[in-house]
Amino acid sequence: MVYDAIVIGSGISGGWAAKELCEKGLKTLLLERGRDVKHGDYPTALLKPWEFADRLLTTQKDLQDQPVQSQACDPGSKHFFVNDNDHPYVQDSPFAWIRGYQVGGRSLVWGRQCYRWSDLDFEANLRDGFGVDWPIRYKDIAPWYTYVEKFIGVSGQSDGLPQLPDGAFLSPMQLNCIENHLKESIRNKNEERLLTIARVANLTSPIGSRGSCLNRNLCSRGCPFGAYFSSNSSTIPAALATGNLTLRPFSVVSEIIYDDTTRRAKGVRVIDMLTMQHYEFAARIIFVNASTIGSTSILLNSKSARFPDGLGNDSGALGHNLMDHHSAAGASGQHEGFQDSYYKGRRPCGFLIPRYRNINNGDEKLDFVRGYNIQGDGERAEWPDRMYESDETGADFKARLTTPGKWSVWMAGWGECLPYHDNKVYLSKTKKDKWGQPLVHIDFSFGENEKKMMEDIRNTCGEMLTEAGFKNIDTFIYHKSGGLTVHEMGTARMGRDPKTSVLNANNQIHNVKNVFVTDGSCMTSSACQNPSLTYMALTARAAAYAVDQLKKGEL
Ligand SMILES: Cc1cc2nc3c(=O)[nH]c(=O)nc-3n(C[C@H](O)[C@H](O)[C@H](O)COP(=O)(O)OP(=O)(O)OC[C@H]3O[C@@H](n4cnc5c(N)ncnc54)[C@H](O)[C@@H]3O)c2cc1C
Ligand code: SF4
């Protein structure tokens, strides 16, 4: 059978590709290397801390099984992250490759922060000369942001900022008193800096069968109410409802098969993860959504006489320009006021201070280009925060523990990373995994621009807290490796020129028109906003284009 479409990977972007293609009438095969996870199959979602064997503490066994992943997961969510021993890779330099191999991918565990990009971002490469120019601008993607936001549900505040366009928001979550205090203080000193509530894909009112968020802040365990967006709760059910979707878990795609005669891809090779059987599946179009590094490794592994260095790699850009945001610098502090204020519930998001650096043509004369936003959280210490204050026991200690502590704020900068050619992924010539696939090498480090930006973040965060009357201020730059912000992107970039980029303005491989790559690998620069909303919008846009081209007989 020849499918109309194959989608590789069922995470945030692959779920969107499957939904859009199925809803447009295409018989679609969704290939996912991990196990199936049906919506509701969230075994830890409703467990209390004392119902976990190890009381939610990371054990030595966890560290042995997941030395990399345990930097991003906890015992409540670890089953949605890979076992690092089963899925090795080679770190030429330290890089945490955080992965979730299952139906839904990392959509089950993501932080749900959703921010649009603006032309400040789409024009950045052209303006300062780092990387190649994006082949699209904000106007090309704006309607697709709206389309995606309406389906996934994004709660947020409209702020009217040109550098962070507003979206089609559900009602926002609320700032608490310490965050409002910090907001006022920052605004009084710097009019261009705005502290606002985070924009998150958590529902503040129901959408269809998905219920409103109950403010449990346990989202990384899966939400039985479907109150945050995941492929499992949202896009995959929508795709299945069309009757056009065939979902095949345990299907490791090893390569895309290129047909020299038609100059198109004709299908994919798959290894069944359980039986080790090899299969081929054919389709008219292929969407590659195996996550940035996963997709890039499939393309690099897809060699033919026409493409000896990997499918669509005429430019040599495939695998290069790996980016990840840095989120290592910031500050925290305590405030002695507001002792008569408290709140109930656990809001599943913090606050955001949108980018305020380098937004006015470099007037500020900073020693770095691009910018960062600040993400943070204000809270009053509760008993779990206080239990390490003393090793006492007894009624007095219990009474003290259950008395709320001081208010505090923690905040850090999510900073743009430039596209550097030397930051790259490539395939091992000798080492293989248990499915016979070449291991991925990752070679990544942050450059001088990112390091100077981190210093600016640390200093300005410290200043903002000092000016707002915080005490015990700790300013920091952690030594975090790349990968830990989990926004890896850029290794099959879009561009105007096939000599310097892999994909065109519609996410099509320049010289293999029926292959579309719409996950983070397509990104030409990283901006500083959390990127998944942009992956979803680009995916929906590319799917509409692909179906239109199919109908016109162009593919
Ligand atoms: C803890 C955490 C917090 C995050 N917070 C945010 C946030 O707040 N905002 C934000 O924008 N982003 C956030 N992210 C990042 C976000 O999760 C990713 O950007 C997003 O999931 C990428 O979508 P994707 O479709 O490219 O990949 P994924 O969601 O990772 O899905 C890829 C899928 O492809 C499958 N796959 C891989 N290789 C193959 C193969 N060879 N064959 C078949 N299938 C394959 C995988 O098993 C997986 O299911 C966070 C991530 C983590 C881990
Ligand atoms: S905080 Fe809201 S979205 Fe998250 S798991 Fe709880 S109810 Fe679901």
Query: pLDDT by residue for the chain (555 residues), tens digit each?
Result: 899 999 999 999 999 999 999 999 999 999 999 999 999 999 999 999 999 988 899 999 999 999 999 999 999 999 999 999 999 999 999 999 999 999 999 999 999 999 999 999 999 999 999 999 999 999 999 999 999 999 999 999 999 999 999 999 999 999 999 999 999 999 999 998 999 999 999 999 999 999 999 999 999 999 999 999 999 999 999 999 999 999 999 999 999 999 999 999 999 999 999 999 999 999 999 999 999 999 999 999 999 999 999 999 999 999 999 999 999 999 999 999 999 988 767 899 999 999 999 998 666 789 999 999 999 999 998 777 777 777 788 888 888 788 888 999 999 999 999 999 999 999 999 999 999 999 999 999 999 999 999 999 999 999 999 999 999 999 999 989 999 999 999 999 999 999 999 999 999 999 999 999 999 999 999 999 999 999 999 999 999 999 999 999 998
pLDDT the model gives residue 362? 62
Q: Mutate which of 77, 203, 213 to test ligand 2's pocket (most atoms within 8 Å of Cβ)? A: 213
133: DSSP letter? P
- pLDDT, residue 260, reads 95
Q: For ligand 2, is residue 229 a contact (CB within 6 Å)?
A: no
Cα–Cα distances (Å) from 33 to 11, 30, 108, 209, 290, in that order, read 11, 10, 16, 28, 9
Please report, in angstroms and rounded to a whole number, the separation of the first and last CA atoms in the chain.
18
Q: What is the DSSP letter of 87?
A: S
What ligand 2 atom has the least distance to the C-alpha of 226?
8
> Looking at ligand 1, which atom is closest to the CA of residue 530?
11
Asked whether 31 and 18 are in contact (CB, 8 A), the reply is no
* Strand-strand pairing, 278-288 and 512-517: parallel
Q: Whose C-alpha lies nearest to ligand 1, atom 29? A: 11
pLDDT attached to residue 112: 98
Nearest CA to ligand 1 atom 3: 110
Amino acid in the structure at residue 422: D
Give the SS3 label for residue 528: coil
Pocket test for ligand 2, best of 223, 233, 349 (most atoms within 8 A of CB): 223
For 277: left if phi > 0, alpha if psi spans -120 to 50, otherwise beta; the answer is beta
Q: Are 55 and 309 in contact (CB under 8 A)?
A: no
Q: How far, CA to CA in Å, does 300 sit from each of 150, 296, 414? A: 35, 6, 30
Check if the beta carbon of residue 375 is closer than 8 Å to that of residue 414: yes
User: Does the beta carbon of 108 sit less than 6 angstroms from any atom of ligand 2?
Assistant: no
Q: If you search the block for the tokens 């704006």, which residue do you land on?
A: 142
Give the up-direction half-sphere exposure of residue 337: CA atoms within 13 A in the CB hemisphere: 9
Is residue 390 in contact with ligand 2, taking CB distance under 6 Å?
A: no
pLDDT attached to residue 166: 98
Q: What pLDDT does residue 361 have?
A: 67
Is the C-beta atom of 113 inside 6 A of ligand 1? yes
Helices 532-551 and 138-152: crossing angle in degrees, nearest 10, is 100
Q: Is the CB of residue 371 below 6 angstroms from any atom belonging to ligand 1?
A: no
Count of C-beta atoms within a 10 Å radius of residue 242: 17
Of 204, 215, 229, 344, best ligand 2 pocket probe by most atoms within 8 Å of the beta carbon:
215
Q: For residue 359, give the H/E element and its range.
A: none
Which atom of ligand 1 is found nearest the CA of 251?
Answer: 43
Q: For a pocket test of ligand 1, which of 233, 323, 440, 486 has the largest count of ligand atoms closer than 8 A to its C-beta?
A: 486
Taking the CA atoms of 453, 421, 289 and 67 in sequence, report the sign of the dihedral they define.
negative
Cβ–ligand 2 contact at 132 (below 6 Å): no
C-alpha dist (Å) from residue 535 to 116, 505, 507: 11, 13, 11
Alpha carbon 378 to its chain centroid, in Å, reads 23
| Pair 452, 368: CB distance under 8 Å | yes
Residue 392's pLDDT is: 80
For residue 348, give the ligand 2 atom closest to its CA.
Answer: 1
Q: Is 353 touching ligand 2 by the criterion CB < 6 Å?
A: no
- 215 C-alpha vs ligand 2 centroid, how far in Å? 6
- CA 216 to ligand 2 center in whole angstroms: 5
Whether the CB of 215 sits within 6 Å of ligand 2 = yes
Ligand 2, atom 2: closest residue by C-alpha = 213
